[in-house]
Amino acid sequence: MEAEQPVRTPYIVFADVQVRYTEEMQGLRGVSLSIYKGDFVFLLGETGAGKSTLLKCLTREVRYTGGKVLLHGRNIDTYKDRDIPYLRRDMGIVPQDSSLLPNKNVFENVAYAMRAAGHTKNAVLKKVPEILDKCQLGNKVKCFPNELSGGEKQRVAIARALINTPPLLLADEPTANLNYESGIEIMDLLKSFNQRGMTVLVATHDMPIVQKMGRRIVRLKNGLLLSDEAPAFAVIEREGVAADV
């Protein structure tokens, strides 16, 4: 007799999510999607498809006007404004164009995220060098953003997003303006954290890199979900991670 599979509860649920910016302009037109713990999902689509908006619904940078978004079973809409910083501390966010604090060096950029989350100076001094080493930035600690290459800036943004070891990483176009090799490096870095159990959502329009990674692909166009493809090997890998976690 075959053993009954336990029912897995989705970690993130987008249920008929709509975002209307103006009467004419809609960011999302009813997107439904479930994401499980440990998933690595690419949100693929052209500019204006709704990828960033979907991520911003999760971070509450944008408030959806229809449907609902659940994170760990809780409707994002129920968070009060004053609780948004605490919601965001449970996710690592890599914004578009990496966006680093211009007047802080690499160490300080990453440390800020820890200090802002209430960690002590001693904890910062211990943990920041570790994450910078993991992101191959150990020799760039004192560099300012204007002294870094595009790929290095992205790695700093990823290190900053990961410093508080969040269970969820949201990356908006992390390979934009990077060449193919640098893009693959960034994705390998994200993959390594995903393999340790972190859920990763990446918004991108970089098709060659997405194909190379062979992960679940959610296609969006004009605010609508076109397709949701999960390559078989990725699913198997996910099941393995889920079992480890």
Q: Return residues touching another protein (CB under 8 A).
A: 19-23, 27, 56, 59-65, 81-82, 84-86, 88-89, 93, 95, 99-104, 108, 112-113, 115-118, 120-121, 160-161, 164
Instruction: Between 19 and 213, name the residue whose CB sits nearer to another protein.
Output: 19
* H helix count then E strand count, the chain: 8, 10
- The amino acid present at 79, given as its one-letter code, is Y
Task: Provide, rounded to whole angstroms, the least separation between the CB of residue 242 and another protein.
Answer: 27
Contact 56, 173 (CB under 8 A): no
Q: How near is the Cβ of 8 to another protein at its closest, in Å?
A: 28
Cβ proximity to another protein: between 41 and 163 the closer is 163
- What lies within 8 Å, CB to CB, of 57 at 6+ separation is 14, 17, 19, 28, 63, 64, 69, 76
C-alpha 186/C-alpha 155 separation (Å) is: 7
Question: Measured from the CB atom, is 82 or 181 closer to another protein?
Answer: 82
- Cβ 173 to another protein shortest distance, Å: 15
- CB closer to another protein, 101 vs 224: 101
- Tell me which residue of 162, 149, 156 sits closest to 198, measured CA to CA: 162
